[in-house]
Amino acid sequence: MELDLLWGTQPLSVPFDFLYLFSMKTTRLAIIGAGNMARSLVGGLIADGWDPDYISVSDPDDATLTSMGNTFSVRTETNNRAIVTGSEVAVLAVKPQHLAVVARELSDIVQKQAPLVISIAAGVRVADLQRWLGGSCALVRCMPNTPALVQSGATALYANPQVTNEQRELAENILRSVGLVVWIEEEDLMDAVTALSGSGPAYILLIIEALQQAGEKLGLGAQTARLLALQTAFGAAKLALESSEEPAALRRRVTSPGGTTERAIGILEEGGLQRLFLDALHAARARSRELADKFGAT
């Protein structure tokens, strides 16, 4: 679909989706909290073309706000209510243990204005957040992971029934500024997301650490072992992302019968690597549920 606009004396055809995207990036956005994730989000949004004049950030720490304002030229406030008032989207980027207090402070504004509320607080369920916000409201709960700090995150989103299609697209556009985005349709799956991608960077870093240490014990220098381990992990992930084949198929292609890789993989499988990962994710999911129960009791 195109809309005909007048440019000087000549009509200009502008794609409707371009106009929609432009209007989306001039949506008034309030971000509560100015920690690392919020900073990454602001940086990603501006790099993606979001107008900084439409972004406001609040935080109790003046020095953090000064740094945010100087770096990104966004409006900063110590008053949460001041930035949410008049905003169409409110992103709650505070620690889970502080979320109940922040949400209750904003409840009357949220109920009056009905903005889209996006929570990036780990382990806080939609029902509890709605209760703190004073009742029914459009809520998206999401779980970004730490690679979002370098715009390479993986974020799962869950929307409650009050979220419109336009608001879903808006939430997706905001979180896509820091990496890949996927939707889940059952909130209970967020605990599995937390176990897999939320905690996942630590698992991969542990593997990189183990590879580096093993390389050093085989005689490589520390810096050489580190760089080889890092680039190997990066290259394998990039290869898998850019291939249409499943990781298992890619692995088999680089595992020559009777070769060095086959022998190494055999040792890992004998040690129960798959079982260990399954047990680890079960433990992380259980802990995620425990924390949600604890935060919800506030």
The model scores a pTM over 0.85: yes
- Together in a domain, 163 and 246: no
Share of the chain above pLDDT 70, in %: 92
Domain count, the chain: 2
- Together in a domain, 83 and 143: yes
Q: How far apart are CA 182 and CA 199, in angstroms?
A: 16
The answer to the question of residue 15 being in a domain is yes
Share of the chain above pLDDT 90, in %: 90
- Together in a domain, 135 and 217: no
Residues 127-148: tens digit of each pLDDT:
999 999 999 999 999 999 999 9
- 262-278 burial string, b = 16+ CB within 10 Å, else e? eeebeeeeeeeeeeeee
CA distances from 73 to 24, 43, 50, 51, 260 (A): 19, 11, 12, 10, 54
The answer to the question of residue 267 being in a domain is yes
- Together in a domain, 101 and 70: yes
Q: How far apart are CA 272 and CA 130, in angstroms?
A: 42
The CATH number that applies at residue 119 is: 3.40.50.720
Host domain of residue 240: 200-292
- Together in a domain, 215 and 236: yes
Place of tokens 């409110």: 90
**Between 15 and 79, the higher pLDDT residue:** 79
- Together in a domain, 159 and 286: no
Residues 228-239: tens digit of each pLDDT:
999 999 999 999
Q: Is the pLDDT of residue 4 over 80?
A: no
- Together in a domain, 118 and 77: yes
Q: Among 162, 190, 218, which residue terminates a domain?
A: 190
Q: Among 190, 220, 255, which residue terminates a domain?
A: 190
Q: How far apart are CA 198 and CA 175, in angstroms?
A: 15
How confident is the model over 42-60, as a mean pLDDT?
A: 95
Q: Is the pLDDT of residue 14 over 80?
A: no
Q: Sign of dihedral through CA atoms 141, 146, 147, 151?
A: positive
Q: How far apart are CA 249 and CA 260, in angstroms?
A: 18
- Together in a domain, 172 and 94: yes
- Together in a domain, 70 and 177: yes
Q: Is the pLDDT of residue 202 over 60?
A: yes
The answer to the question of residue 297 being in a domain is no
The HSE-up count of residue 156 (CA atoms within 13 Å, CB side) is 20
Q: Among 158, 190, 222, which residue terminates a domain?
A: 190
The CATH number that applies at residue 280 is: 1.10.3730.10
